[in-house]
Chain A
Amino acid sequence: MTRAIRIGHLYPDVMNLYGDRGNILALVQRARWRGIQVDVVPISLGDPFRAETVDLLFAGGDQDREQRRVAADLAGPKGDAIRAAIEAGLPALVVCGSYQLFGQRYLPAEGPELPGLGVFDVVTEHPGVNVVRCVGNIVVDWNGSLLVGFENHGGRTYLGPRAAPLGRVVAGYGNNGQDGTEGARYKNAFGTYLHGSLLPKNPRLTDELLRLALQQRGDDPTLAALDDSVEEAARRVAIARARAERHAQRNVGATARPR
């Protein structure tokens, strides 16, 4: 029997910054290369969320202006349905702006606080447009293997008592540039600041999401091995970049710090 996965792409026309398309592409291609059928279902502003039509949820990054529209759309029954589905084990990957909105609340640089979905017990505060953004290549230790991507966020995210980070920062800023944590994980939902694109360069995470989606459907979750040499080559370069930047940051920090 042919296996199939339906990917719900939240706000594809609104939250589509930083090569988010690459994340969808990675899921689709790595499923297809194994003979698994994939449907991508766009779920935009005003569209209802029906848990029974989706096996995996993805949402990407955006700008502050768009974030207000999305927060408003998530308030009410749509947000409730998404939260319930994740509570019931729906796998999800939410990146950057979506990660912030899947937390408890987000305080933007300007304007009123935005309520979050509360999937993750995290809060995000934007310290203001004059405070330096967290920008650069980033490497994260995720259960002993490395995730690599690019981060670019003004908001600082802080974990609450019930939150578990997705991983530990090896090089880069992560959640807030201070506590060494990156992202958040709750059940099968992953929140992260890594884009760039994340999934093509991190095939292990991509395959984990596909496995969880198959499991959630009750399908056989075993995935045939693929030749990942091109992925590995791109990872190596990106990891080297992040490590080199960390050295540069440290040197700048050392000379700039007043005594």
Chain B
Amino acid sequence: MVVAGLAGELACGSALVTGTNGKTTTARLLARALHASGLTPVHNTAGSNLMRGLAATLASVAGPAGHLPASRRTIGVFEVDEAVAPHAARAVRPRIVVFTNLFRDQLDRYAELDTVAALWRGMIEELHGATIVLNADDPLIGALPAPPAGRRLLYGIADPAAAGDPSGAADSIWCPRCGNRLEFRAVWFAHLGDYGCPECGYARPPLDFAAVGVRPCGFEGSDLRVRLDEREIAIRLPLPGIYNVSNALAALAGAVALGVPSEVAARALTDATAAFGRAERLTVAGREVAILLVKNPTGADQALRTILAEEATPHLLLALNDRIADGRDVSWIWDVDFERLAARHGPITVTGDRADELALRLKYAGVADGVEVQPDPERAVRRALARGEGRLYILPTYTALLTLHDILARQAGTARFWERREP
């Protein structure tokens, strides 16, 4: 196969990043850290995380003879979909695999959490000698076993002050060993936290990379220190939200597992810019515009929380599509805490293929004033920019993001905007 052949030509091997949330940002941060250490990452772009995306990425780097350029520095960094990871691993034979988290996302494609976890266990059995990098804060991930003759590196948050509100969508609150309900000493967001099972004693495993002293600085990002090998290194992460602290830890652990000195990796993270659509900022028609991709309740809740921490009456453009890449089932929007907006919000414009469903969700959240439905995205952008002042926050699903990006790029008309897409 194309992928197996070309991946075999990568001089320094490959890393895979998989999980429901954060894989794009994590892969991008990991690629930055590897680049900072003098390697040349070959990196698939956001969204092309199925096998044909991998093939296209490798083919785009290959020369006319169908081979990768001879280099002793090339290394693959591939983000792959949860269900695709086992196929990708078989083709790429990665040195490391990063598992970020597992949420009930797009169940129409992947059936159930247990099914995905079982798939991953089978995959790990074939990863002879590899390192797996695990988010210990996720009970299902923390329970994954080491590969044969390989090892596990665990990352997580160890700062009680970072605990958020424990009410969120609890996807996997059941013990992966015995099936009883887990108890959480702290919850960072959704089902990620410091947990233990009162029945069988399963608990969050000890952390090799622990975030301590997490200080959120709103939309600007977070300051944190990472404890590893009895040392601490400081990172000023320019990506907002506790979920990005997790992503940064994942990238740091992955980079160290691949031999990058921790200080080099930490510096690369400090210089990071947002991945495609993840807390991206640009200026359009004199207005500051911030884009936060949302694709499931957890991500959307985090985005709303970040925005409401920043703005008294946020001005929003919400975009909901239900194409295959978005997940055809839009029922997840009913699990998003749009009720947070009921108390205070500015003008809200809704767009996308399922704009009317979104308007209905807002109605039942008690958000009615100032909501305007504009299914056509071109018109919606025009209206959103015309309504209200100050920063406009755009929360699109994946395919809506692609459309809105094109529209905004045309209006912004600057090449600088597009530079942000690649590391």
Contact of A200 among B169, B354, B360 (CB under 8 A): B360
Decide if A65 is an interface residue (CB 8 Å cutoff): yes
- A151→B104 CA distance, assembly (Å): 16
At the interface with chain A, which of B3-11, B47-55, B144-152, B323-331? B323-331
CB of B357 within 8 A of CB of A234, answer yes
Interface residue count for B (Cβ, 8 Å)?
34
Q: How far is the CB of B308 from chain A (nearest CB, A)?
A: 20
CB of A64 within 8 A of CB of B112, answer yes
Q: How far is the CB of A258 from chain B (nearest CB, A)?
A: 26
CB of B335 within 8 A of CB of A19, answer yes
Show 8 residue pairs from A and B whose CB-CB distance is below 8 angstroms, ordered by the A residue.
A19-B333, A22-B361, A65-B179, A129-B115, A195-B331, A233-B360, A236-B356, A237-B353
CB of B328 within 8 A of CB of A238, answer no
CB of A230 within 8 A of CB of B359, answer yes
CB of B108 within 8 A of CB of A63, answer no
CB of B331 within 8 A of CB of A18, answer yes
A41-61 residues with Cβ-Cβ distance < 8 A to B are: none
Q: How far is the CB of B165 from chain A (nearest CB, A)?
A: 16
Which A residues have a C-beta under 8 Å from some C-beta of B? 13, 16-22, 25-26, 29, 63-66, 69, 129, 133, 135-137, 150, 152, 154, 195-197, 200-201, 230-231, 233-234, 236-238, 241
Which residue of chain B lies nearest to A135 when distances are taken between CB atoms in the complex? B108
CB of A19 within 8 A of CB of B179, answer no
As a 0/1 sequence over residues 333 to 349 of chain B, the CB contacts with chain A under 8 angstroms (1 = contact) are: 11100000000000000
- A196→B322 CA distance, assembly (Å): 12
Contact of B179 among A69, A197, A238 (CB under 8 A): A69
Residues on the A chain within 8 Å of B330, using CB:
150, 196
CB of B328 within 8 A of CB of A137, answer yes
CB of B364 within 8 A of CB of A25, answer yes
Contact of A22 among B334, B359, B373 (CB under 8 A): B334
Residues on the B chain within 8 Å of A136, using CB:
108, 328
CB of A135 within 8 A of CB of B364, answer no
CB of A63 within 8 A of CB of B113, answer yes
CB of B331 within 8 A of CB of A196, answer yes
CB of A19 within 8 A of CB of B114, answer no
Residues on the A chain within 8 Å of B108, using CB:
133, 135-136, 152
Q: A25-B334, A129-B115, A197-B334 given as contacts; is B360 within 8 A of A230 (CB)?
A: yes
Decide if B233 is an interface residue (CB 8 Å cutoff): no
Interface pairs A-B: 7 shortest CB-CB = A22-B334, A19-B334, A19-B331, A233-B356, A234-B360, A234-B356, A196-B331
Residues on the A chain within 8 Å of B356, using CB:
230, 233-234, 236-237
Residues on the B chain within 8 Å of A230, using CB:
356, 359-360, 363
Residues on the B chain within 8 Å of A137, using CB:
328
CB of B107 within 8 A of CB of A17, answer yes
Which residue of chain B lies nearest to A151 when distances are taken between CB atoms in the complex? B329
CB of A63 within 8 A of CB of B364, answer no
Q: A129-B111, A152-B107, A241-B322 given as contacts; is B357 within 8 A of A19 (CB)?
A: no
- A19→B354 CA distance, assembly (Å): 15
- A136→B107 CA distance, assembly (Å): 11
CB of A200 within 8 A of CB of B114, answer no
CB of B174 within 8 A of CB of A65, answer yes
As a 0/1 sequence over residues 95 to 128 of chain B, the CB contacts with chain A under 8 angstroms (1 = contact) are: 0000000001001100111110000000000000
Residues on the A chain within 8 Å of B184, using CB:
none
Decide if B202 is an interface residue (CB 8 Å cutoff): no
